[in-house]
């Protein structure tokens, strides 16, 4: 692990308050080899998957003006200018050195870019979006072969999904675009890559936009605004206070030892930048040393809109929630009584993502008119008989239709968008709190599906309105099929299914990546429950062994109710070392299967 990768990992822990939004961060950015370049915010920081780092093939070197030796004495001769040909690192339109230009084609992995259209891969990690100086072309990858010649798949160990980013190969700094990029191991594993380094003048605590703004080479990192640090802040990895320089200390050192991140010392808020920072013991270390760290220094109260935590009041306890909360939503966390939330607010109890609950301040309301008009409704989110303003369906999309957020769906307080990250491709509008006796009815063309586990996807166990169907053609084809989703009514509905191409054992991130229709399963994160490991990179399979289940596809065997890939040697399993050929800890026929290492 590089120092910078460890620096990212330890600081990410503080803002990763689980539960309220359930956001799943993934990917990488110019900040180094963690999930992202800074903290994972409860407000999401940057939602979705960062394309990750790819690197510029280097600046386009113009040969300079062509110097004519003077007039020719040959009557009919021409000057001897030879146009410059495209080099290996050139892309786009360059000066040919003879007063014209030459088109060197779309930019390859690692080349500079300003927009996706500049890249042959169709994806540009821009300076503004990902923090890479000058931008660079990239693409998502699982293995090196995905990236083509001269590049490899890096950062695949940064998340359970094993989605990496193509980065340019290098043997020395001369292979990289300098001076903002050098050849070093920016991720935790594998070969070196051309990666951003600190080439600027910024010291610990100074504002920054990219790593290049900070001093200190590859050990320095810019925790960017998109990751919760307003205006960005320069830091560096450290093993002890001596690594950080005068006026700083090594914070977020793991309890078992290891690398932390340098942050500025402080005795009061006045010692910190006023733009979203406060003096606090953010890492809760045994020494009780305070550091300048992001905090709610604004005026936004519970339920107010926000672009970042700095817009909210509440200091270290402040959060700006953004996942499926239109325009952001200020709150403070950790309350135990209504009085801690201020007049007009109360303490609600939300799931903390780890099986427990956490107090969250929310605004009081009596009707929807008391709430923000777009994306919010007056509802009892936590079933404590007290109403609060929270996400609600103020849009027009009907049950079963696609949605990007709850604000797109109809249904008011009962409306909700089941998001793609929860397995619903392109989102799926539902309505909550229906009952099978009709006392709380569903719209025409839908019915009340009851008995779902609310802790995994939807918060209300009484039932949800889902789309009626008779055949698959009644459903959206992008990840849905018509079947009974194992609720208690025995009625078919349009519901997520395996409509992808993934065969047994193939990689997956969601159910719809796999084949198998309603029997498809994407094994990914099982929380190590019952001794069963996680499945790095995902593992497509089908349910099997039931009275109506078909046999597993050729090359796989039913073990423990799922189809697993047959094998006799490890070379028959997916490359990368995540899987081995062994006896799975399930009942079933004799023989080995490809199973997590």
In tens, the pLDDT along 140-167 reads 888 888 898 899 998 876 666 677 889 9
Each residue's pLDDT tens digit, 543-574: 999 888 999 999 999 998 999 999 999 999 98
Q: Which residues, in sequence order, are CB contacts of 260 under 8 Å at separation 6+?
A: 7, 10, 237, 238, 239, 250, 251, 252, 253, 254, 283
Q: Which of 296, 393, 303, 298 is nearest to 342 (CA)?
A: 303
Model confidence over 218-248: pLDDT tens digits? Answer: 888 898 888 889 999 999 888 889 999 999 9
Extract the runs of DSSP E, i.e. beta strands, from 323-455: 329-332, 345-351, 357-363, 376-379, 388-391, 415-418, 428-432, 446-449
Q: Could you tell me which residue, 62 or 500, shows the higher pLDDT?
A: 500
For β-strands 248-251 and 260-264, DSSP reports them as antiparallel
DSSP state, 85?
A: P
List Cα–Cα distances, 287 to 118, 253, 291, in angstroms. 50, 12, 12
Q: Would you say 139 and 123 are in contact if contact means Cβ atoms under 8 Å apart?
A: yes
Q: Which residue has the higher pLDDT, 533 or 72?
A: 533
| Composition of the chain by helix, strand, coil, percent to 5 | 10, 30, 60
Burial readout 548-574 (b: 16 or more C-beta within 10 A, e: otherwise): eeeebeeebbbbebbbbbbbeebebbb
CA atoms within 13 A on the CB side of 581: 13
Write the pLDDT tens digit of every residue in 239-297: 889 999 999 999 987 766 677 899 999 999 999 998 899 999 988 876 789 999 999 99
Alpha-carbon distances of 467 from 115, 393, 494, rounded to whole Å: 39, 17, 6
Q: Examine the pLDDT at 491 and tell me if it is beyond 70.
A: yes
Going from the C-alpha of 101 to that of each of 83, 146, 443, 469, the distances in angstroms are: 9, 32, 62, 59
Global pTM value: 0.73
Q: Give the number of other CB atoms < 10 A from CB of residue 576.
A: 17
What's the mean pLDDT in 169-184?
Answer: 87
């Amino acid at each position: 692990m590089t120092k910078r990768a460890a620096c990212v990992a330890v600081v990410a822990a503080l803002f990763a308050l689980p539960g309220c939004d359930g956001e799943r961060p993934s990917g990488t950015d110019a900040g180094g080899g963690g999930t992202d370049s800074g903290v994972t915010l409860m407000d999401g920081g940057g939602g979705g998957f960062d394309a990750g780092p790819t690197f510029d093939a280097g600046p386009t070197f113009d040969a300079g003006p062509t110097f004519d030796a003077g007039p020719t004495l040959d009557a009919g001769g021409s000057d001897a200018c030879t146009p410059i040909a495209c080099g290996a690192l050139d892309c786009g339109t360059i000066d040919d050195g003879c007063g014209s230009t030459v088109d060197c084609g779309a930019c390859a992995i690692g080349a500079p870019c300003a927009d996706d259209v500049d890249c042959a891969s169709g994806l540009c990690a821009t300076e503004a979006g990902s923090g890479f100086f000058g931008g660079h072309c990239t693409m998502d990858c699982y293995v090196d072969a995905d990236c083509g010649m001269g590049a490899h798949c890096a950062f695949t160990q940064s998340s359970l999904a094993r989605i990496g980013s193509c980065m340019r190969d290098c043997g020395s700094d001369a292979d990289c675009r300098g001076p903002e990029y050098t050849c070093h191991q920016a991720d935790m594993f594998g070969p070196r890559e051309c990666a951003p380094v600190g080439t600027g003048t910024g010291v610990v605590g100074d504002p920054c936009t990219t790593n290049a703004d900070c001093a200190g080479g590859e050990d320095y990192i810019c925790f960017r605004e998109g990751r919760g640090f307003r205006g960005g802040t320069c830091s560096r990895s450290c093993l002890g206070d001596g690594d950080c320089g005068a006026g700083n200390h090594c914070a977020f050192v793991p309890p078992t030892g290891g690398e932390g991140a340098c942050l500025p010392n402080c005795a009061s808020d006045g010692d910190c930048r006023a733009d979203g920072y406060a003096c606090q013991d953010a890492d809760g270390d045994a020494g009780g040393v305070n550091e300048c760290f992001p905090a709610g220094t604004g005026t936004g109260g519970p339920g107010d809109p926000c672009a970042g935590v700095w817009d909210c009041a509440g200091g270290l306890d402040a959060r700006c929630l953004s996942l499926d909360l239109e325009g952001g939503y200020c709150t403070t966390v950790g309350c135990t009584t209504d009085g801690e939330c201020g007049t007009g607010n109360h303490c609600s109890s939300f799931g903390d993502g780890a099986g427990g609950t956490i107090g969250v301040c929310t605004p009081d309301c009596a009707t929807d008119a008391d709430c923000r008009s777009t994306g919010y409704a007056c509802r009892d989110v936590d079933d404590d008989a007290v109403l609060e303003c929270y996400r609600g369906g103020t849009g027009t999309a009907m049950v079963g239709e696609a949605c990007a957020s709850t604000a797109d769906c109809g249904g008011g307080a009962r409306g909700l968008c089941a998001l793609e990250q929860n397995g619903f491709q392109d989102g799926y509008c539902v309505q909550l709190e229906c009952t099978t006796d009709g006392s709380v009815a569903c719209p025409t063309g839908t019915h009340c599906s009851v008995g779902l586990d609310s802790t995994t996807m939807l918060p209300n166990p009484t039932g949800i309105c889902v789309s009626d169907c008779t055949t698959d053609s009644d459903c959206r084809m992008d990840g849905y099929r018509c079947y009974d989703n194992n609720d208690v009514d025995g009625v078919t509905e349009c519901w997520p299914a395996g409509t992808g191409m993934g065969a047994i054992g193939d990689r997956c991130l969601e159910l719809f990546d796999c084949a198998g229709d309603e029997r498809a399963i994407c094994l990914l994160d099982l929380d190590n429950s019952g001794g069963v490991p996680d499945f790095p990179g995902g593992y497509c399979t089908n349910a099997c062994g039931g009275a109506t289940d078909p046999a597993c596809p050729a090359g796989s065997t039913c073990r423990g109710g799922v189809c697993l890939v047959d094998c006799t040697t490890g070379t028959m399993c997916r490359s990368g070392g995540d899987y081995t050929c062994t006896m799975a800890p399930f009942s079933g026929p004799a023989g080995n299967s490809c199973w997590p290492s």
